[in-house]
Structure 1
Amino acid sequence: MATRVLTKLSSAAITFGLVLLGGGPADAAPPRTSEPVGIDVSWPQCGKTLPKQPAFAIVGVNNGLANTTNPCLATELAWANTAPDPALTAQPRVALYVNTANPGLQGSWWPTSNHYGGADVANPYGDCSSDPENFNACSYIYGYAKAYDDATIRGVANPQKYLWWLDVETGNSWQAEKAANVADLEGMAAYFKSINATVGLYSTGYQWGQIAGSVPASSPLAGLPSWLAGARSLAGAKSNCSLPALTPGGRVVLTQYVSGGLDYNYPCP
């Protein structure tokens, strides 16, 4: 087995991540298009004037790291709820996204048991307490715990009603062993599914490959919907709908592009 190394993955490729778009103009207007497109926002948009009544909205729960809270979550959720009702597209009027990471033993907290949130967690990778160096088992609990926190302590009311997107980017800390990162993301998905919420995956094909690699069809991540970043225009976003999903059996349902300093999202047919 390869040496476990905590690493913040990076690449020469430009990351079109959600957290990188905080420097745009505060009064950016929606792109002129006859098709309804959504907008995603988070802490970089704190205090900025946002376009009114987006077709749909996706709000970041964290402050750029998996163990933090977006200080503008309440106000941005209030803005998101100005989206038209009934929804203009097949996407939910309001969805959420959360930062993900797997810091391992160098994180500010790392699990030492299969117990979290006052309950024992069913762990398909074994018992984290029997071997804290069992990175797959402990990574699963770490992911489960971060999702639990996102749903219970960040200020999200009725978390079960949302679609939760897992934001998987190389800008956060990950293990060199991709199997441990997959276990971490599986733990997050498992918690959200346990409260009957729906789950999706956000990334680019390149970043996903660096962090998770090829996920087996037997993984609980297989079949989840994909939201792909990376486009610079609406035309590029439309084209990206034809790209492969991030996991086997999945489908690209949403693609992101940048316009006027904001992230816009095209719902794939």
Structure 2
Amino acid sequence: MPTSLFKKLASLAVTLGLVLLGAGPAAAAPPRASEPVGIDVSWPQCGKTLPKQPAFAVVGVNNGLANTTNPCLAAQLAWAGTAKTPAATSQPRVSLYVNTANPGLKGSWWPTSNTYKGIRVANPYGNCALRVFKACSYMYGFAKAYDDAAIRGVSNPASYLWWLDVETENSWQGDKSANAAVLEGMTVYFKGIGARVGIYSTSMQWGQVAGSVPATSPLAGLPSWLAGASSLTGAKAFCSNSGLTPRSRVAMTQYISGGLDYNFSCR
């Protein structure tokens, strides 16, 4: 999730003595009230008092793993409702993010067919029933997206922008194309219900998990939400970076300040 990603990046910067993604290691000052920045929250913020009326809000649906539910989802969605009108930025007033992974056969559940919850899925990678791993990876992603939309407690899931949180600390395979297939399955499900989809990651982690995807992939052209900045100034600079997939634009960037994740809308 976004919060854990920052902890991981910060730890690497301290251990290696490096400057994270070109930004200084010093903590950023809290954003000025005039800055139209959003905040993202999830299970690490359960029970914490959150600032009212961010410019926009992003709420994590899972509890750190792709097959879990954030225990504070309802309360945090209610908090997100205090966000200001969307006129201040190009971001939705409230959007969601979900954990992603490809645990393969080591997961607590792994698909065995191209059908989930009675839905017969047109699988571009073949028949999962024949144990075609890439086909089953696609089905795994489709199934986790279905669960996120249908059983986690999200009302009107089609109305949201869903960000796919891609981090190396989650379970992934050495086969990058199979990992991308998971994300494609999620994307196809969310778009199939009429929702919008984006990708959250860093260029480094995206490269390690999914690598380069073809221009024909459902992931191509999805908006990118880039993590790793250590200040609002750095987050603004990230807006000029390349997107994570072909034809992707950087729509939002993230930085940490005062123990919270803040987000800058690039457009």
Q: Does 1:18 align with 2:3?
A: yes
Mapped partners of 1:259, 1:97: distance in 2 = 20
> What corresponds to 1:41 in structure 2?
41
Mapped partners of 1:206, 1:81: distance in 2 = 33
Shift of 1:19: 2.7
> What corresponds to 1:204 in structure 2?
202
Mapped partners of 1:176, 1:153: distance in 2 = 30
> What corresponds to 2:258 in structure 1?
260
> What corresponds to 1:104 in structure 2?
104
> What corresponds to 1:13 in structure 2?
none
| Within-5 A mapping of 1:104-253 | 104-130=104-130, 132=131, 134-253=132-251
User: Does the CA-based 8 Å contact 1:63-1:71 persist in structure 2?
Assistant: yes
User: Does the CA-based 8 Å contact 2:55-2:85 persist in structure 1?
Assistant: no
Mapped partners of 1:49, 1:221: distance in 2 = 36
Q: What amino acid is the match of 1:258?
A: I
User: Does the CA-based 8 Å contact 1:100-1:172 persist in structure 2?
Assistant: yes
Mapped partners of 2:97, 2:122: distance in 1 = 24
Q: What amino acid is the match of 2:224?
A: S
Which consecutive segments of 4 or more residues in structure 1 shift more than 6 A? Answer: none
> What corresponds to 1:32 in structure 2?
32
5+ residue gaps, structure 2 = 8-28
> What corresponds to 1:68 in structure 2?
68
5+ residue gaps, structure 1 = 1-15, 23-28
Q: What amino acid is the match of 2:244?
A: L
Aligned residues: 246
Where 1:200 maps in the other structure, the secondary structure is strand
| Within-5 A mapping of 1:42-57 | 42-57=42-57
Q: What amino acid is the match of 2:235?
A: A
> What corresponds to 1:7 in structure 2?
none
User: Does the CA-based 8 Å contact 2:5-2:167 persist in structure 1?
Assistant: no
Over the aligned positions, Cα root-mean-square deviation in angstroms equals 1.4
User: Does the CA-based 8 Å contact 1:144-1:187 persist in structure 2?
Assistant: yes
User: Does the CA-based 8 Å contact 1:21-1:44 persist in structure 2?
Assistant: no
Q: What amino acid is the match of 2:173?
A: Q
Name the CA shift for 1:79/1:154 in 2 (closer, same or farther; >3 Å). Answer: same
Name the CA shift for 1:245/1:86 in 2 (closer, same or farther; >3 Å). Answer: closer
Name the CA shift for 1:161/1:171 in 2 (closer, same or farther; >3 Å). Answer: same
User: Does the CA-based 8 Å contact 1:83-1:93 persist in structure 2?
Assistant: yes
Mapped partners of 2:236, 2:6: distance in 1 = 20
Name the CA shift for 1:249/1:39 in 2 (closer, same or farther; >3 Å). Answer: same
Deviations 1:80-128 (A, max 9, x none): 0111235421100000000000000000000000000211111111110
Shift of 1:135: 1.4
User: Does the CA-based 8 Å contact 1:21-1:261 persist in structure 2?
Assistant: no
> What corresponds to 2:78 in structure 1?
78
Where 1:98 maps in the other structure, the secondary structure is strand
Shift of 1:34: 2.5
What TM-score results when the alignment is normalised by the length of structure 1? 0.89
Which structure has greater helix proportion?
2
Shift of 1:20: 5.2
User: Does the CA-based 8 Å contact 1:217-1:248 persist in structure 2?
Assistant: yes
Shift of 1:32: 1.6
Name the CA shift for 1:20/1:253 in 2 (closer, same or farther; >3 Å). Answer: closer
